[in-house]
Amino acid sequence: MNYVVQRLLTFPLILLGVSILVFVSIRLVPGDAITAMLGTEAGLLTPDQRAALAAYFGIDQPIWSQYLRWLSGLFQGDLGISSIYGKPVLSIILERFPLTLQLALMSMLISLSVGIPLGVFAATRNERPSDLIVRMLAMLGQSTPSFVIGVLIIYVLSVFFGFVPAMGTFTPLTVDPLASVGQLIFPAITLGFAFAASVTRISRSAMLDVLSDDYIRTARSKGASQRSVVWRHALPNALIPVVTLSGVEFGYLLGGAVIVEQIFALPGLGRLVLDAITQRDYALVEGTVLFIAFNFLLVNLLVDLAYVALDPRIRIGGR
Amino acid sequence: MSKLARAFLRHPSGRIGLAIISLYLIAALLGIVGLTPHDPLKLFAIDRLKPPSATYWFGTDLLGRDTFSRLMVGIKQSMIIAFCSVGLATLFGTVIGLLAAWWGTLWDGILMRIMDVLLAFPAILLALLIIAIVGPGTSTSVAAIAIVYTPIFARVVRGPALSLKQRDFVDAARTFGSSQPYILSHHLLLNLVAPLAVQVTLALAWALLTEAGLSFLGLGTQPPTPSLGLMLAESKNLMTQAPWLMIFPALTIMLGILGFNLTGDALRDILDPRTQRREA
């Protein structure tokens, strides 16, 4: 079967699996929706009151019927009501999402603009001291968790520069673009640090592969300059694995935002998940986890399709 | 085997990685038997926030507890969680990958689509979902990390197992009447040791990272048990007064992950000739 068709067919199937997993997981939590909402006061309800509430929440129905009801709600954009905020879950998510999306995009931009040139530089100086230094730095970068980088950045800024990054608030890009980007620059560096290291390693490795290809030898023998060989002939092909990595990593950046938003006290989607978990707001946990997983899957699908456009061999041979 | 060991020890990343892991293991073992310079849980009230000295090598925290001893127990905690979770992920992932490849068609489709569903979540998010259900704690961290990494092992095993299944020696074993479990364990699994060894080492690095991340968020190991992520999180409000509380846990976490990453890279270079001299 054509790879694109196969990929488009499995997407809704996996999405359905994700929704089942999230739905069932939350129902495994001890206690029902009534206990979650009323806490210890649920014990004071009469059997009639409890039955009425059970009918209201639909938990008196079999699990598959509850799932179908929940799923049809999802299609209408109904992710339930948050018990912390008393508002529809979807509206809270949509309020918080722009920050997380901007953070992920900025970290990706920083990582790619640092990682690709470094990787190309190291590949063109294979096994020389400068290559070894880049490789060592990349390995160190990949081994440094975002929360270590975040804490170190705050320490260096506050102790050596007497500057504390703005925390707790966020200016949207539409209100004041400069302030918005300025506010997220350190969190974006924190989040993108390890990713920049991965991009460096993959770019170097892909570049070394491409540089040993026959068509590069041909270009050299025809007198193409080193600059033209590297940037015009080799780089476009070497970027294919970087595109794949970027797609996968973008989803991880959305997930990794949980930790970075916590360090810099940013009111994004990641912090919302954490608040929902610590305050046991299950409708919010369900909604945010599903929303992030959906975006993760969607980005991966788009990247796979872009990969097909970049590398025609996949269209013919499958993977 | 000795050829492999020699090649590993000749590899610079392998040597450094092994040295770091050995240090980590020694610290973990000393932490397990309780051979720490001080009691990691004992409060020395008059010695609060003491900088590093001959008595307290890495200083003390806000409650007067010895940072060095707490780091040793923290390493023990991280290593136990990392080894247990990766062990479980390897076991389940390998069994699922092998069976999917061996049974093929329908079962392959079902098992691998379930793995795809698990892979549809960013790792930390899936771990958080599991913690939301069960509640935080050491055993939850083990289970969460194991579930997160099982699909990766299933994928690593399934691909090569599918091609091994078509090889002549497997057909020959079938013809000679070898049982299904025997073929799976002796012909398929033994040929998958190399990719599995690389994956296990790299997964140990990720597991250390995920465990420290969960503890940093307060959803992993619970106080008063020391853990590296939690120690780093606690240092945030004291970083100007007591930077040692931040620097030592940060370096310890980095070093551990670096050790496993270097070892994994060295193993990959040695076991997979395609990556030799190419991977950074």
Token output for B237: 């409000």
* B62 at interface of A, judged by CB pairs closer than 8 A: no
DSSP one-letter code for A173: T
Residue B217 and residue A18: Cβ atoms within 8 Å? no
First to last CA, chain A: 11
Average pLDDT, chain A: 86
User: What is the least distance, in Å, from the CA of A42 to any CA of chain B?
Assistant: 20
Q: Do B217 and A274 touch (CB under 8 A)?
A: yes
B117 shares contact with chain A (CB less than 8 Å)? yes
**CA nearest neighbour of B134 among B147, B121, B118:** B147
**pLDDT 10s digits, A90-126:** 999 999 999 999 999 999 999 999 999 999 999 999 8
Q: Which of A1, A10, A136, A151 to mutate to test the interface with B (most CBs of B within 10 A)?
A: A151
Percent above pLDDT 90 for chain A:
37
- B243: contact with A, CB 8 A cutoff: yes
Check residue A3 and give its pLDDT: 77
Is B4 part of the contact surface with chain A (CB cutoff 8 Å)?
no
Q: How close does chain A come to B217, measured CA to CA in Å?
A: 7
pLDDT at A94 (0 to 100): 94
Is the Cβ pair A151, B246 closer than 8 Å? Answer: yes
Inter-chain contact A289–B128, Cβ cutoff 8 Å? yes
CB spacing of A159 vs B121 below 8 angstroms: no
- Going along chain B from its start, the domains and CATH numbers come out as 2-279 (1.10.3720.10)
Contact B212 A145 (CB under 8 A): yes
A312 pLDDT band (50/70/90 cuts)? low
Nearest-CA distance from B130 to chain A in Å? Answer: 8
Which among B62, B46, B127, B120 is positioned nearest to B89, based on CA atoms?
B127
Inform me whether the C-beta atom of residue B123 falls under 8 Å from chain A C-beta atoms: yes
Pinpoint the alpha helices (H) of A161-281.
177-211, 214-221, 226-228, 235-263, 269-278
Which chain B residues in 200-219 lie under 8 Å from chain A, judged by CB atoms?
A: 205, 209, 212-213, 216-219
Q: Which two tokens stand for residue B80?
A: 């136990």
The answer to whether the CB atoms of B240 and A158 lie below 8 A apart is yes
Q: Check: CB of residue B146 under 8 Å from CB of residue B88.
A: yes
CA A39, distance to chain mean position in Å, is 33
Residuewise pLDDT in 10s, chain B (280 residues): 678 889 888 988 999 999 999 999 999 999 889 899 999 988 888 889 999 999 999 999 999 999 999 999 999 999 999 999 999 999 999 999 999 999 988 999 899 999 989 988 888 888 988 988 888 999 999 999 999 999 999 999 998 998 888 888 888 888 888 888 888 888 888 889 888 999 999 999 999 999 999 999 999 999 889 999 999 999 988 888 899 999 999 999 999 999 999 999 899 888 875 555 444 4
Distance separating the N- and C-terminal Cα atoms of chain B? 25
* Structure confidence at residue A1 (pLDDT): 58
Say whether residue B173 is in contact with chain A using an 8 A CB cutoff: no
The CA-atom distances, in angstroms, between A46 and each of A39, A52, A53, A96, A260 are: 15, 10, 11, 39, 45
Domains along the sequence of chain A with CATH: 2-75 (no CATH), 89-315 (1.10.3720.10)
B240/A251 CB distance under 8 A: no
Least CA distance to B260: which residue of chain A? A143
Q: What is the pLDDT of residue B278?
A: 47
Q: How far is CA A152 from CA A48, A157, A188, B180, in A?
A: 57, 8, 14, 54
Interchain CB distance below 8 Å, A256 and B124: yes
Q: Which of A46-50, A161-165, B142-146, B169-173 has the highest mean pLDDT?
A: B142-146
Chain A closest CA to B229's CA: distance in Å?
9
Distances (CA, A) of A305 to A3, A113, A247, A276, B115: 9, 23, 11, 34, 21
Q: Which of A24, A318, A209 is nearest to B277 (CA)?
A: A209
**In this complex, is the C-beta atom of B257 within 8 Å of any C-beta atom belonging to chain A?**
yes
Would you tell me which residues 88-107 of chain B have a C-beta closer than 8 angstroms to some C-beta of chain A? none
By CA distance, what is A144's nearest residue in B? B254
Residue A26 has pLDDT above 90, yes or no: no
* Tens digits of residue pLDDT in A296-311: 888 888 888 887 777 7
Q: Give the model's confidence band at A319: pLDDT under 50 very low, under 70 low, under 90 confident, else very high.
A: very low
Contact A205 B280 (CB under 8 A): yes
Other CB atoms within 10 Å distance of the CB of residue A77: 11
Q: What is the pLDDT of residue A158?
A: 86
Report the gap between the CA of B54 and the closest CA in chain A (Å).
26
Q: Does B229 sit within 8 Å of A292, measured CB to CB?
A: no
DSSP for residue B220: S
What residues of B are in contact with residue A276 (Cβ under 8 Å)? 132
B113/A contact by beta carbon, under 8 A: yes
CA distance to A201, B17, B141, B221, per residue, from B134 (Å) = 38, 35, 10, 14
Residues 7-46 of B with CB under 8 A from A: 13
Neighbouring C-beta atoms of residue A265, cutoff 10 Å: 14
- ipTM comes to 0.86
Shortest Cα–Cα distance, A96 to chain B (Å): 17
Q: Do B232 and A152 touch (CB under 8 A)?
A: no
